């Protein structure tokens, strides 16, 4: 059984007004981690278990990096932790790693803090000499994350903001369409999208029109992370899959996004009540 000290926060960095990057000591997790996988974290004894995508890992230092956006009660509690404090549990790595299908050029799409989960994927592709580009987006400039880091592992990083405060004014799908129109041989292109469910659905719809192979990282409601509870079930290619063990990466053109989005909204009222209680 791991002790709390193994999950000590070595570094905390504020990326946006609501987003933090944590480097956590977790040697056993770092040793086996791969791009595309996730961990499940519990802050304290009475806290809920939340799945968090691995944003980076260092096997030599024995660290795992996660990026937490403060949305619900637990993510806000996590965000309040400081360096040298610890999380109670950090279980992983979980899920299937990212696997390149056929792309000679991989375009990564990161919506909001989804850009953090995109980083280890494009980094390992870059190290294997696969051409990589990224398109990242946010509502405004202050909510963009990892632009600098992605520039180090991508030949191009296209930045989008809804209000035009930085880079291209518009959605990531608008910029992706322009980029796809520029490429002559789309059979050699693969797209990987990580971010809010509506964004990933829009990317899937667009790349489906261009017949470009696309993978998305799904984040449904999840409890145990081992395929036993069934909470993270999704429909992919007309078959029931479990995001925690079969994913989280899936063929975007086979995902039933309507079902995914409906299931993700099942506990909106309860989440609002929990946030209200925390505010009091």
224, with CB counted inside 10 A (0-12, 13-18, 19+), is: middle
pLDDT confidence of residue 144: 93
Q: Which residues make beta-bridge pairs with 160? A: 137, 168
Find tokens 């409890």 and name the residue.
223
| Domains of the chain, residue spans | 4-94, 105-264
Q: What is the pLDDT of residues 9-25, one digit of tens each?
A: 999 999 989 899 999 99
CA distance 79 to 94: 22
CATH topology of domain 105-264: Rossmann fold (3.40.50)
Superfamily the domain 4-94 falls into? Translation factors (2.40.30.10)
Phi-psi region of 167 (alpha: psi -120 to 50; beta: other; left: phi over 0): left
Q: How confident is the model at residue 3 (pLDDT cuts 50, 70, 90)?
A: very low
CA distance 260 to 252: 12
pLDDT confidence of residue 8: 92
Q: What is the DSSP letter of 141?
A: G
pLDDT confidence of residue 251: 95
The continuous run of DSSP H or E covering 166 comes out as none
pLDDT confidence of residue 4: 45
pLDDT confidence of residue 64: 95
H-state helical runs in the chain: 27-32, 73-79, 114-127, 147-151, 172-182, 197-210, 257-264, 268-279
CA distance 30 to 102: 27
Collapse the DSSP code of 63 into the 3-class scheme (helix H, G, I; strand E, B; otherwise coil) and give the result: strand
CA distance 221 to 243: 9
Q: pTM here?
A: 0.88
- Do residues 72 and 130 lie in contact, with contact meaning Cβ atoms separated by under 8 Å? no
Mean of all residue pLDDT scores within the chain: 89
Collapse the DSSP code of 243 into the 3-class scheme (helix H, G, I; strand E, B; otherwise coil) and give the result: coil
């Amino acid at each position: 059984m791991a002790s709390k000290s193994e999950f000590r926060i070595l570094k905390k960095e504020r990326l946006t007004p609501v987003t933090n990057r944590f480097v956590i000591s977790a040697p056993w997790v770092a040793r086996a981690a791969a791009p595309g996988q996730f961990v499940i974290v519990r802050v304290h004894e009475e806290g809920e278990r939340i799945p968090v995508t691995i944003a980076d890992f260092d096997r030599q230092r024995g660290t795992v990096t996660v990026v937490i956006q403060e949305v619900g009660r637990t993510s806000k509690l996590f965000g309040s932790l400081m360096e040298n404090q610890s999380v109670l549990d950090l279980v992983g790595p979980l899920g299937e790693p990212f696997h390149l299908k056929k792309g000679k050029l991989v375009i990564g799409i990161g919506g909001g803090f989804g850009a953090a989960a995109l980083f280890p994927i494009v980094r390992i592709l870059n190290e294997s000499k696969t051409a990589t580009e990224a398109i990242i987006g946010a509502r405004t400039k202050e909510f963009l994350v990892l632009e600098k880091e992605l520039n180090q592992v991508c030949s191009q990083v296209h930045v989008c903001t809804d209000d035009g405060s930085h880079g291209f004014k518009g959605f990531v799908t608008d910029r992706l369409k322009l980029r796809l129109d520029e490429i002559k041989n789309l059979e050699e292109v693969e797209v990987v999208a990580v971010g809010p469910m509506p964004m990933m659905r829009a990317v899937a719809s667009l790349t489906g029109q261009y017949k470009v192979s696309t993978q998305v990282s799904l984040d449904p409601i999840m409890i145990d992370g081992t395929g036993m509870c069934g909470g993270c079930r999704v429909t992919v290619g007309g078959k029931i899959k479990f995001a925690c063990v079969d994913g989280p990466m899936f063929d975007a053109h086979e995902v039933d996004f309507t079902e995914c989005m409906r299931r993700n909204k099942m506990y909106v009222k309860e989440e609002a009540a929990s946030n209200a209680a925390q505010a009091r």
